[in-house]
A and B are shown apart, each in its own frame.
Chain A
Amino acid sequence: MIWRIIIKQCQVLLRNPMHLLLLFGLPLLLIVILGTALSGAMGEDVKDVQVKVAMINNDSPGLGLQQLVEEKDVSAQEFAKLQTAVKQYAIPSLLDHAGKANATLLTKIDDRAPQNKQAILQDDSYSALIEIPKNFTYDLLSYIYFDKGLPPGLQVYINEGLQFEANTILNLLNQIQERWTEEKLFLNKNIQLEPQYYKEMESIGQIESMNQRVVTSKGYYTIGMAVLNVLFIATTIGFYAFQEKRTHVFNRIILANVSRWTYFSAVFISGTLLGFIQLVVIFGFSWIVYGVSWPNISAFLIVTLLLSLAVGGLGMLLTAISYRNNSETITSFFSSVVIYVISLLGGSFYPIGDFSPLIEKIGDFTPNGAGMSVYLALLRGESLSSVANNLLFLVLFIIVTWFIAVISFPKRGEVL
């Protein structure tokens, strides 16, 4: 029965070309306009960060490892572990990795002999020169695995003329060094590190050690317009549902012995379904046209579903209140005022939260703002857990809309 009502709801929407256009065409148009017009304003000119790094390696990993093995009486198993570690923590491979994994950061590492040092320092095309000390491997492994000495230092020369690029490299190196300490802590606590753990660490490490993915203005406005326009699904559903009351079709449905909760759930599901479809269409469009792609599709789908459920909840809430008041004022007010206000707060038009932490906070307490924060984080390559608060808010929002809707929906025999 629920599906009958949902299908009919979609049928009605399909027969309203104007609504279809507003819900599905307009957001795409807005993305194109805003994304193009404001691309300069969002600091997009820094496209790819080209970093050319020279490296002078005074270390010999093989010798360092051998020295350690001789000193410490290492078992065969431990030896294998250490060998892996050597590869894992080699600076060139870490930097290289970072470069490959991040499209906007291009690291080019030139391995140079020590005698070229002066020449490199004169060469302005390099952002930095990294000099790896003589006992790097030995020191590092001793520090991490045998709790001996200090982590090895890296000698880094920076090209003052290429400040931004140089800083990027420094950042990366800092993070790499922090990782060593982390690693050591784990071992000290006697936590047996599974091989799998290394893998995980590696992948997390990739993200952390890299400059974040840059969100383009097209990406930003795709999200902004998506979370804004999906709210109109809620009001459209609210309008349609109230139309069913006004035309007394709702009475017909009730008289056919369909429970009003069935009807009500159908409103919720229709809102959720249409919201989901709309979001997928909008994001699909910007993926195809602007290449705004999601590093983690399943995380993207989870957020999209949550946001759609929030939209379904909102649509149901508007329906319940308009049924109760016997007027669609609430829905009109929502679609003509509230949506724009909360979209502004949520950052749909401009990253307004960047100017005021308070606004950012308030924005996160709107379904669209919370959705936007999550989408932005995902687009930057962050994980869902980093935006757990926003996700939690969405879940709470859905629960609260249900709660209020259920208590305000007219009881049996009250609707006319």
Chain B
Amino acid sequence: MLELARLTKRYKQLYAVKGLNMFIEKGEIVGLLGPNGAGKSTAISMLSSLIEPTEGDVRFHGKSILKSPGELRKVTGIVPQEIALYPELSAEENLQFFGRIYQLKGKQLKQRIEEVLELIGLQEKRKEVVKKFSGGMKRRLNIGVALLHQPSLLIMDEPTVGIDPQSRSYILETVKRLNEEKGMTVLYTSHYMEEVEFLCDRIYIMDKGNLIAAGTKEEIKQILTSETTVLIKVEQLNEKFVQRLQAEPSIHQVSTGENEVTVIVPKEIPVFKLILNIAEHTDIELLSIEMKATTLEDVFLHLTGRALRD
């Protein structure tokens, strides 16, 4: 349905997105993952016809949208990363305005506003000005606006940043429902692995403008089958311990938390013995050593050497 071919955006020296190839089929939920500055929003702006790529093409049903984005725009709903609403207007007035610019009128507009308000659970708050909304409510309305014209393709750019867990799961459930009940195609951008794991069939992972992995959840996790993630909990973490772990050639990735360290090691090495040894030499009191199930987070760590979030 939607295809991105060698899509590139360059700002002076910086490649915000570099040679991105991607496709989305009808009815899918596709995840686009990446840390801050990966180029997710830039990619979305290009594929939704908001900015022109430096190079490459976006094709919708086989036709390039670069010169005539009208068709795509008509059936696409965009949930921007920012709260793109009028803070002075009420939820209902916002919906009215955006509905009207999408050519909805009269009864139809009214009905759609009702449906959307119900979907995002803001019926009670319809008359309240957006300024007074909580972060979660604003996020939900931000999504609602994109749904007014009943798009068949929904593009969501980090729709859950900075909100409470309750609103977050509400949003995730809603997206899932829209996909299942209405057959809505969704491109979901996030830097929360668990959201993407929950929602998406296929996943693209970007970093620094480049696509670093793509495939189904399983395929991506396969990347790590030869390695294993180990979580080490300690009484009191010290610098020497971490340095020794990093210096150890058979240990691939070391990332630290509060009195815990995660390492990725090849499956075949005797990991317990190795860690016990290092702990002894660096005066570390070990609390536990556990092997973790592979997560996308680990994949990302493996691919980039960095955690997805700081």
Interface residues of A, Cβ cutoff 8 Å to B: 1, 4-5, 8, 11-12, 15-16, 247-249, 251-258, 412-416
Interface string of B76-90 (1 = CB under 8 A from A): 101010111111110
Using Cβ atoms and an 8 Å threshold, which residues of chain A touch B23?
Answer: none
- Tell me if B88 and A4 are in contact (CB < 8 A): no
- How distant is B204 from chain A, measured CB to nearest CB, in Å? 21
- Tell me if B93 and A11 are in contact (CB < 8 A): yes
Asked, given contacts A1-B101, A4-B97, whether A254 binds B88 with beta carbons under 8 Å apart, the answer is no
Q: How far is the CA of A413 from the CA of B97 in the complex (A)?
A: 23
Asked, given contacts A11-B93, A251-B50, A256-B98, whether A16 binds B45 with beta carbons under 8 Å apart, the answer is no
- Tell me if B80 and A248 are in contact (CB < 8 A): yes
- Tell me if B50 and A416 are in contact (CB < 8 A): yes
Complex partner residue of A12 from B78, B82, B86, B101, CB under 8 angstroms? B86
- Tell me if A255 and B48 are in contact (CB < 8 A): yes
Q: How far is the CA of A255 from the CA of B98 in the complex (A)?
A: 11
Q: How far is the CA of A416 from the CA of B80 in the complex (A)?
A: 11
Asked, given contacts A255-B49, A255-B50, A255-B76, whether A4 binds B100 with beta carbons under 8 Å apart, the answer is yes
Using Cβ atoms and an 8 Å threshold, which residues of chain A touch B274?
Answer: none
Complex partner residue of B145 from A5, A252, A258, CB under 8 angstroms? A252
- How distant is B84 from chain A, measured CB to nearest CB, in Å? 4
Smallest CB gap from B41: residue in A: A416
- Tell me if B52 and A413 are in contact (CB < 8 A): yes
- Most chain A CB inside 10 Å of its own CB: which residue of B50, B52, B83: B50
Please provide the chain B residues from 73 to 128 with a CB less than 8 Å away from any CB of chain A in the complex.
73-74, 76, 78, 80, 82-89, 93, 97-98, 100-102
- Tell me if A249 and B52 are in contact (CB < 8 A): no
Indicate if B161 sits at the interface (CB-CB under 8 A).
no
Asked, given contacts A253-B101, A256-B102, A416-B45, whether A8 binds B86 with beta carbons under 8 Å apart, the answer is yes
- How distant is A11 from chain B, measured CB to nearest CB, in Å? 6
Q: How far is the CA of A254 from the CA of B83 in the complex (A)?
A: 16
- Tell me if B51 and A11 are in contact (CB < 8 A): no
- Which secondary structure dominates where chain A touches chain B? loop
- Most chain B CB inside 10 Å of its own CB: which residue of A1, A15, A16, A252: A252
- Tell me if B78 and A255 are in contact (CB < 8 A): yes
- Most chain B CB inside 10 Å of its own CB: which residue of A248, A251, A255, A412: A255
Indicate if B162 sits at the interface (CB-CB under 8 A).
no
8 contacts between A and B (CB under 8 A): A15-B89, A16-B88, A252-B80, A252-B101, A256-B98, A414-B51, A416-B45, A416-B51
Q: How far is the CA of A12 from the CA of B86 in the complex (A)?
A: 8
- Which secondary structure dominates where chain B touches chain A? loop
Indicate if B249 sits at the interface (CB-CB under 8 A).
no
Q: How many contacts A-B (CB < 8 Å)?
A: 70
Indicate if B62 sits at the interface (CB-CB under 8 A).
no
Q: How far is the CA of A258 from the CA of B98 in the complex (A)?
A: 11
Asked, given contacts A8-B86, A247-B85, A252-B78, whether A412 binds B52 with beta carbons under 8 Å apart, the answer is yes
- Most chain B CB inside 10 Å of its own CB: which residue of A4, A11, A247, A248: A248
Asked, given contacts A252-B78, A252-B145, A257-B73, whether A15 binds B50 with beta carbons under 8 Å apart, the answer is no
Smallest CB gap from A250: residue in B: B84
Smallest CB gap from B81: residue in A: A248
- How distant is A3 from chain B, measured CB to nearest CB, in Å? 10
Using Cβ atoms and an 8 Å threshold, which residues of chain B touch A4?
Answer: 97, 100-101
Using Cβ atoms and an 8 Å threshold, which residues of chain A touch B84?
Answer: 247-249, 251-252
Indicate if B70 sits at the interface (CB-CB under 8 A).
yes
- Tell me if A12 and B89 are in contact (CB < 8 A): yes
- Tell me if A11 and B89 are in contact (CB < 8 A): yes
- How distant is B253 from chain A, measured CB to nearest CB, in Å? 35
Using Cβ atoms and an 8 Å threshold, which residues of chain A touch B100?
Answer: 4
Using Cβ atoms and an 8 Å threshold, which residues of chain B touch A248?
Answer: 80, 82, 84
Indicate if B172 sits at the interface (CB-CB under 8 A).
no
Using Cβ atoms and an 8 Å threshold, which residues of chain B touch A15?
Answer: 88-89, 129
Q: How far is the CA of A258 from the CA of B101 in the complex (A)?
A: 7
Q: How far is the CA of A216 from the CA of B85 in the complex (A)?
A: 48
Q: How far is the CA of A253 from the CA of B101 in the complex (A)?
A: 7
- How distant is B155 from chain A, measured CB to nearest CB, in Å? 10
Using Cβ atoms and an 8 Å threshold, which residues of chain B touch A412?
Answer: 52
Using Cβ atoms and an 8 Å threshold, which residues of chain A touch B93?
Answer: 11
Using Cβ atoms and an 8 Å threshold, which residues of chain B touch A416?
Answer: 45, 50-51
- Tell me if B89 and A247 are in contact (CB < 8 A): no
Please provide the chain B residues from 44 to 83 with a CB less than 8 Å away from any CB of chain A in the complex.
45, 48-52, 69-70, 73-74, 76, 78, 80, 82-83
- How distant is A4 from chain B, measured CB to nearest CB, in Å? 5
- Tell me if B74 and A252 are in contact (CB < 8 A): no
- How distant is A176 from chain B, measured CB to nearest CB, in Å? 62
Interface string of B279-293 (1 = CB under 8 A from A): 000000000000000
Smallest CB gap from A13: residue in B: B88
